[in-house]
Structure 1
Amino acid sequence: MAKGPASTNNSGMSELKQRLLFLLGALIVFRIGSFVPVPGIDSTVLQQMLDQQSGNLLAMFNMFSGGALERASVFALGIMPYISASIIIQIMGFVDDRLKQLKKEGESGRQKLNQYTRYLTLALATVQAIGISMNLPAMLPGIVPNPNFAFYFGAVVSLVTGTMFLMWLGEQINERGIGNGISMLIFAGIVAGLPGAIGGTVEQARTGELHVLALMGIAALIIVVTFFVVWVERGQRRIVVNYAKRQQGRKVFAAQSSHLPLKVNMAGVIPAIFATAIIMFPGSIMQWIGQGNEDLGWLRDITVQLQPGNPLYIILYAIGIIFFCFFYTALTMNPRETADNLKKSGAFIPGIRPGEQTSKYIDKVMTRLTLAGALYVTFVCLMPEFLILFTQVPFYFGGTSLLIIVVVVMDFMAQVQSHLMSRNYDSVLKKANFKNYGAAGQIR
């Protein structure tokens, strides 16, 4: 028996509810896990150290992990080893012939690349976990009451397992939830710290450490930057595309006009996350190792220069954002492939020859858009760095955090709307089929 439009609506809503509930459940599990401690560590000592070093790389690391680092949680490493592994595999895909071939093999090749990423994540997380656990007792006396083999083994296993679980959880959100799983986990970690950051800022204003006018200016700036991010993220360059008149059998299709939409920021929030990971991963390792060793003073000097607000950090961060904007756009948008698809469908850009000339034209437009998008992301991410230096605002109000929050929320809303539109579209088709059913006695 055929299902009616009402049942189609209900099934569509049921799927959306299931995805939303799964996402909510996954984020709850993430928050609960951030409170599960690594055995053998006194988290109060670690929290005191992080409180004294607010605004540095470890504080940023703690922010992305949702406070798991300061609580010495099994999720303390966060998702950064996975992001670092993804960057390495994607870059290697341009230089290694075997990986290049896998990228051309469709779904099977993608699954193989994902498997390589998981293996590399395991290796990076293991190296980072060993380095942290081995240097903790020397760096912070009293943080590990019994620094024996059982502690080292348990700490490494706990930290690596936590990272691998977060990687798996992110993949599950991709498949069964809504939004990008990794971005959602980072978003949840940032949002979890917002109440404390807002409370700390208000307390600074109450005690006189931060002038009330400065507080109002900061709030106004956050609102303005948020509107600016939304405005740019919705911006598109629409390339006019015409379809020539064609005949199929006895039917003649009239010429049509459409457009090829190209976003200003096609890479989204990925460049900011990747650039942060590139600086955080080696920087945090150097900070953990160098702080407890007198013979590694040069390592501590480099670490100091990599702290937020320093010229070296700002320069490397800006270069990283611009590089990954172009890099990620090249991964997701292929001008030659787009030009070939337009040619096969009988479409053309007015004034541009189909094929190679169309590919060059699209590439030229994409390059200009990507440059504008890269400068926009760099501006949003680095502008608050100077604000932090002069006003001592909590690090949660950094541009990277704001960009991630706004873009992830916009992406989430777009995907929810897409599910709703898909459900309505199916409903319209069903209604049309039911009309045919009444006339011809069957659903066509």
Structure 2
Amino acid sequence: MIIIYLKKKNKAITKKTIRNKILYTLIIFAVFLLGRRIPLYGVNYDQLGTIDMGVKPTLLALGMTPWMTTMIIWKIFSLGKNPDDVISSDVSQYFKQNMLMLFLSIIQAIGILTQLGTTKYVGHETMFFFEINVMFLIVGAFLSEWLSNLIARYGLGGNSLLIVITILGNYVQEINLDMHMIYNHSKPMLVLFLIILIVMFSIITLVYFAEYKINFIQILASKELKKYSYIPLKIIPALGMPFMYSISLLTFLQYALFFGGRYNHNLKLLKIANKININTTQGLMILLVIIFVISIAFSFFNIDVVQTADKMKKSGDFIENIIPGYNTQKYLSKRVLFLGFIGALFNVLITVIPFMISRYFPITNINIFGIVGGTYLILLTVLIQAYEQVLTIHNKYNY
């Protein structure tokens, strides 16, 4: 009777915990969407239908871009470092990250306001217009980071959820409009288009879960466990992260050019900045290069070969015919680099293929469909993360 009672109690706790996390996530989701509708000061929103900026000029126009750019820079400088060698405390590290984010937010805020100034959004540009809106955008960037941290702590899906919402919020309206155009043009064509998307999503899903296993020997493990000892490496090691960070970097690059063009009074930089976004062919080509480079780089972020080789050496584990230590590190680096290259090619393909396919359909802005595959990969990453969180909660209270 006691065991039955405890099981029922644990199930009730599990359901309540999951329900609370879902509710918390939905509340944060609603707050974030509301923030994306709060207008900036002095912006002429009557022209929104005639100007194509990629993002709407609102309080949360910067969204997660400054935070993600900060994380890229931070990870680059911390890659390969042993956590035991880091002297600064967590508070000190968090303060430094926020200072870097503040600096990047200022650049991007001025950049987006400069872009506004080159369009019909702004009737008159004054110093007060810039000062007040720079502050609004910076507050919006830190608000986005705070909301993402709340989701990571109390919700489901992690802070990547707001990135998915940002991407979908920026482009889903255009995609929906084009789907209606295909439907009005030809219903069989719409069915064919949807079948192609389903096939592509199925292939992405299969590759997402595919793994490459590196077997190693554990001296202290039992004979039964030794044959199951392996290092799992994803075929696409970086998963959905390259697309999250690539779009953010492309956006940051555009705003940085607007920032430089404004303060150097350089019209060429402003013209280049206008052409660097996902809606242009130039922007799409730059995005492909960024995706390729980041896919390889982030494959090493998910598995730090320096720390992995060091831990294996300390615990006495080793890969057969490979000397522990530096040789193991070198061996793992080659394998991760190879898989990173394969993953980079795959990520480029799922960006290019929708772009090529969409050329044969009545779509007004074919470049937008270049991010369909990447967006699905990000969404898949978020859903798997949410599922693992639910599974962890279930195992915590039922075993």
Q: Secondary structure at the match of 1:49?
A: coil
- Mapped contact 1:9–1:424 kept (Cα < 8 A): no
Q: Which residue of 2 aligns with 1:48?
A: 50
Which of 318, 331, 344 is the matching residue for 1:361? 331
Letter in 2 for 1:341: K
- My pick for the range that moved more, 108-117 or 4-13, is 108-117
Question: Is the Cα–Cα contact under 8 Å of residues 132 and 289 in structure 1 kept in the other structure?
Answer: no
AA aligned opposite 1:281: F
Which whole-Å deviations, capped at 9, do the CAs of 1:377-409 have from their partners, x for residues lacking one? 111123333345564354685243432334333
Alignment of 1:116-131 (within 5 A): 116-131=96-111
- The alignment status of 1:409 with 2:380, answered yes or no, reads yes
Mark the CA change 1:28 to 1:366 in structure 2 (over 3 Å): closer, same or farther: same
Closer, same or farther in 2 for the Cα pair 1:389/1:280, shift >3 Å?
farther
In the alignment, residue 218 of structure 2 is paired with which amino acid? Y
1:186 — aligned with what? 163
Matches within 5 A, 1:22-421: 22-50=24-52, 58-59=53-54, 62=55, 69=56, 72-93=57-78, 104-105=85-86, 109=89, 111-133=91-113, 136-137=116-117, 139-141=118-120, 143-144=121-122, 147-181=125-159, 183-192=160-169, 196-205=173-182, 208=185, 212=187, 214-244=189-219, 253-254=222-223, 256=225, 257-258=227-228, 259-284=230-255, 286=257, 296-303=266-273, 306-308=276-278, 312-388=282-358, 391=361, 392-394=363-365, 398-421=369-392
Q: Residues 202 and 363 of structure 1: is their aligned pair in 2 closer, same or farther, counting only changes over 3 Å?
A: closer
* Structure 2 spans left out of the alignment, 5+ residues: none
Counterparts in 2 of 1:136 and 1:425: CA distance versus 1, 3 Å = closer
Q: Residues of 2 paired with 1:240 and 1:314: CA distance? A: 39
Runs of 5+ consecutive residues of structure 1 not aligned to the other structure: 51-57, 63-68, 247-252, 429-444
How many angstroms does 1:335 deviate by? 2.3
Distance 1:161 1:311, change over 3 A: closer
Aligned length: 393
How far apart are 1:174 and its partner, in Å?
A: 1.5
Secondary structure of the equivalent of 2:214?
Answer: strand
Q: Is the CA contact (8 Å cut-off) linking 1:197 and 1:396 kept in structure 2?
A: no
Task: Report the alpha carbon displacement of residue 361 of structure 1 after superposing the two structures with TM.
Answer: 2.7
- For residues 379 and 354 of structure 1, the distance between their equivalents in structure 2, rounded to whole angstroms, comes to 37
With 349-358 and 362-371 compared, the bigger mean Cα shift is at: 349-358
1:435 corresponds to which residue? Answer: none
Question: Counterpart in 1 of 2:8?
Answer: 6
* Higher alpha-carbon deviation: 417-426 or 370-379: 417-426
| 1:8 and 1:427 in contact (8 A); partners too | yes
**Amino acid paired to 2:350:** V
Question: Which amino acid in 2 is paired with 1:419?
Answer: V
Q: Distance in 1 between matches of 2:219 and 2:48?
A: 67
Q: Distance in 1 between matches of 2:172 and 2:281?
A: 30
Q: Counterparts of 2:84 and 2:278 in 1: how far apart (Å)?
A: 36
Structure index of larger Rg: 1
Cα deviation for residue 427 of structure 1 reads: 2.4
Find the aligned partners of 1:194 and 1:371 in 2 and give their Cα distance: 28
Letter in 2 for 1:233: Y
Code of the residue aligned with 1:189 in structure 2: it is: T
AA paired with 1:162?
G
Whether contact under 8 Å (1:103, 1:110) holds in the other structure is: no
State how far apart, in whole Å, the 2-side matches of 1:330 and 1:402 are.
Answer: 22
Q: Name 1:54's counterpart in structure 2.
A: none
**Cα distance per residue 1:109-140 (max 9 Å; x no partner):** 55533332222222222233234446645x34
**Alpha-carbon separation, structure 1, partners of 2:189 and 2:163:** 29
Q: Which amino acid aligns with 1:201?
A: D
Alignment partner of 1:398: what SS? helix
- Give the 3-state SS of the residue equivalent to 2:48 in structure 1: helix
Counterpart of 2:252, as a letter, is F
- Per-residue CA deviations over 1:396-443 (Å, capped at 9, x if unaligned) read 852434323343334423432453355236523xxxxxxxxxxxxxxx
Q: Which amino acid aligns with 1:105?
A: V
Distance 2:46 2:102 in 1: 28
Identical amino acids, percent of aligned pairs = 20
CA contact (8 A) 2:236 2:340 kept: yes
